[in-house]
Amino acid sequence: MHKSKKTSPYIVADSRAYLDHDMFAIMSGPTIAAISVVFDHAEYEDVYQTCIDGFLAVAKISACHHLEDVLDDLVVSLCKFTTLLNPSSVEEPVLAFGDDAKARMATVTVSLSQIADDSEMSSDPGHGKPLTNSLSSAHMQAIGTPRRSSGLMGRFSQLLSLDTEEPRSQPTEQQLAAHQRTLQTIQKCHIDSIFTESKFLQADSLLQLARALIWAAGRPQKGNTSPEDEDTAVFCLELLIAITLNNRDRIGLLWQGVYEHIANIVQSTVVACALVEKAVFGLLRICQRLLPYKENLADELLRSLQLVLKLDARVADQYCEQITQEVSRLVKANATHIRTPMGWRTIASLLSITARHPDASESGFEALSFIMADGAHLSPANFVLCVDAARQFAESRVGQTDRSVHAVDLMAGSVACLVRWAQDAREAMAEAEAAKLCQDIGEMWLRLVQGLRKVCLDQREEVRNHALLSLQMCLTGVDEIHLPLGFWPQCFEMVIFTMLDDLAEIAQGNPQTQKEYRNIEGTLVLALKLLTKVFLHLLQELSQLTSFCKLWRNVIGRMEKYMKLKVKRGEKLQELVPELLKNTLLVMKTKGVLVPTSTLGGDNVWEQTWLHVNKIFPSLQSEVFPNQDSEPLQSNQSDGGRSPISNESAQNE
């Protein structure tokens, strides 16, 4: 070739870069092998450096031509010199690494070649925070004999932590120097840039990085796990969570693998440990950070939090308070981004289980109050779920009675939302759509009053009496909802009559039950007043029902039942029942619902009323109808029909 340059005429070929890719692909394998042989047998650091320059040149050209296979071969060759792949054969592997210049140079070169692997990554290897700065300073201070650990990630995390639980001897000057060289090597590697700058990685590279971390962490096993394996698993999990948070725009690419890895950890852990702690709180952090930006994944992210509900009971108890605090932060920051029943079901479940936990209940109730107070974040998607959660706090004996009362107030206050939604529906929706929503609102209201009914049976007098008054408000304060008539018979049967029967059973219980329910007679009085007030408030609507006569007989029947109850200070009931019954009859008379009629048999309100009332208080008929005989007016028969009032009643029925 030298002679050809002197030959005249000499023409320089202008091949440009057309053959560079193919020629490099052919030459790269032998080149890497040749440099590796020299590097392996070299004894001087200047020769090492020449070889390193050659390796880096191969890496840069490979990255330029996107020859991933060549880069893979280069990394495999370099890793043989790092000593990180080899099981520990010396007592002090960290110090041995610090004394091995070839291993240190090869390790740095591996990291730099990885930075060159993606053409979109920053070309400045110093860009990003050194990994040592993100580690606890305590991890970087001690020298001694680290626990042995095999495998690349185990050995590497061991180098990064430089920590040990075994007794340490006083280091020599040589050991201090080796330790310092190891730290400097780690700093030169800029390993953290692979993770902090992972958003610049190509999609396939990012996916492979996540899979490598999951593989290196190993599959969690139930039972005893060595401290070395747990340290490695924690290290890998922290990195996996970091790249997940740094790649929120590509969460769909990573999420399935990340979720499955965390699920495996949660479901295989039976005792509290650092790994499950990192998994649970890492999952919560991912949800907190990504919910505002990924509404299309909101349900999937929130569904993942059901893993917390699958924690072993001992593990859950250990972390319950901290978990609830994180859930509370998530709710306060992202309540507007949770819009489906599925998403709210997870949140409500996480809050509900804290109602009976002495350490976590305060944070759980605070989060629930944030959602429900003044209907701030209540919606048809979460109404029933939140009401059920509030009921559990109302029934809980954890905390002061005031909190149970407050929970009842949250339940009762939610009825205002139902009224507002019904009004909005009538104003903004078509008639068919509004009717459908009002039907749904009716179902929500029914669940609300059923929940309050249960709290009315609480052993604590203040709580159950407050629940009774709140229930009365929710039953009489929904006129503007315009509930379908069919809801009311259902409500009386499932809520009012059932509550009255349950309270009567408690009052007639054994001495121990009566001791637990102190001053039950006061509650019975409130319950009877609720019955009559609700009945009279709805009298016009109820009288239009075909089943009105049956409902009215049940009302009289409950009054009779309470009249006969034998409880302490029962004289209050014996005085109250005739008074309430008389008032009810007078209102029914005034509104034309109870009027004399000549029609006999069937569901005749007049006949059925006196048939049952006269068994209890025979004198009431003459008091309510002083000018009326006990039998229907004969004049009505002679007139061939009913009185004007009677006709009005018939129309109402």
Q: pLDDT tens digit string along 304-340? A: 999 999 999 999 999 999 999 999 999 999 999 999 9
Residue 222: per-residue pLDDT: 73
* Residue 514 reports pLDDT greater than 60: yes
Q: Average the pLDDT over 385-409 and give the result.
A: 96
Q: Six-digit token pair at 333?
A: 């920051």
pLDDT value, residue 650: 36
CA distance linking residue 245 with residue 289, whole number of Å: 7
Residue 431 above 70 pLDDT?
yes
pLDDT grade for 142, boundaries at 50, 70 and 90: very low
pLDDT at 13: 61
Q: How confident is the model at residue 141 (pLDDT cuts 50, 70, 90)?
A: very low
Give the model's confidence band at 221: pLDDT under 50 very low, under 70 low, under 90 confident, else very high. confident
User: Which comes out higher in pLDDT, residue 502 or 97?
Assistant: 502
Alpha carbons 100 and 182: distance in angstroms, whole number = 10
Which residue stretches of 65-202 are H helix?
68-82, 93-99, 101-116, 152-161, 173-189, 191-196
Question: What is the model's pLDDT at position 2?
Answer: 62
pLDDT band per the 50, 70, 90 thresholds, residue 67: confident
Distance CA 144, CA 223 (A): 29
Query: Average pLDDT, stretch 211-216?
Result: 94
Tokens of 547: 């089943």
What's the rounded Cα separation, in Å, for the pair 338 and 441?
A: 20
Distance of alpha carbon 527 from alpha carbon 517, whole angstroms:
15
Q: What is the pLDDT of residue 562?
A: 93
Per-residue pLDDT tens over the stretch 358-373: 999 999 999 999 999 9
| E strand or H helix that includes residue 637 | helix 634-638
Whether residue 374 has pLDDT greater than 60: yes
Q: Give the integer Cα–Cα distance in Å for 450 and 494.
A: 7
Determine if the peptide bond prior to 9 is cis (ω within 30°).
yes
Q: What angle do CA 215, 218, 219 make, to 5 degrees?
A: 110
Ranges 40-44, 107-111, 146-150, 278-282: which has the least confidence: 146-150
Output the pLDDT for position 461: 95
pLDDT of residue 15: 60
Whether the per-residue pLDDT at 653 is higher than 60: the answer is: no
- Convert the pLDDT of each residue in 587-605 to its tens digit: 999 999 999 876 666 678 9
What's the confidence (pLDDT) of residue 631? 46
As a whole number of angstroms, the distance between CA 265 and CA 310 comes to 11
pTM: 0.79
Structural contact between residues 338 and 347, judged by C-beta atoms closer than 8 angstroms: yes
DSSP tally for the chain: helices H, then strands E: 34, 0
For residue 55, how far is the Cα from the chain centroid? 50
Convert the pLDDT of each residue in 532-587 to its tens digit: 999 999 999 999 999 999 999 999 999 999 998 888 777 888 899 999 999 999 99
Instruction: State the pLDDT at residue 4.
Output: 57
pLDDT confidence of residue 3: 63
User: Within a 10 A sphere around the Cβ of 485, how many other Cβ atoms?
Assistant: 12
**DSSP labels for 469-496?**
HHHHHHHHS-GGG---TTHHHHHIIIII
% of the chain surpassing 90 pLDDT: 55
Predicted confidence band of residue 16 (pLDDT cuts 50, 70, 90): low
% of the chain beyond a pLDDT of 70: 82
Is pLDDT at 133 greater than 70 in this prediction? no
- Flag the least confident range among 43-52, 71-80, 159-168: 159-168
Say if residue 242's pLDDT is above 70.
yes
pLDDT at residue 157 greater than cutoff 80: no
pLDDT digits (tens, 9 = 90+) for 80-132: 888 776 655 555 677 778 888 888 888 888 887 766 655 434 443 333 333 33
Structure tokens at 199: 């958003």
pLDDT confidence tier of residue 528, bands split at 50, 70 and 90: very high
Per-residue model confidence as pLDDT tens digits over 446-475: 999 999 999 999 999 999 999 999 999 999
Look over the chain and give the mean of its residue pLDDT values, rounded to a whole number.
84
Check pLDDT > 90 for residue 137.
no
- Residue 168 or 250, more confident: 250
Whole-number pLDDT of residue 635 = 36
pLDDT recorded at residue 433 = 86
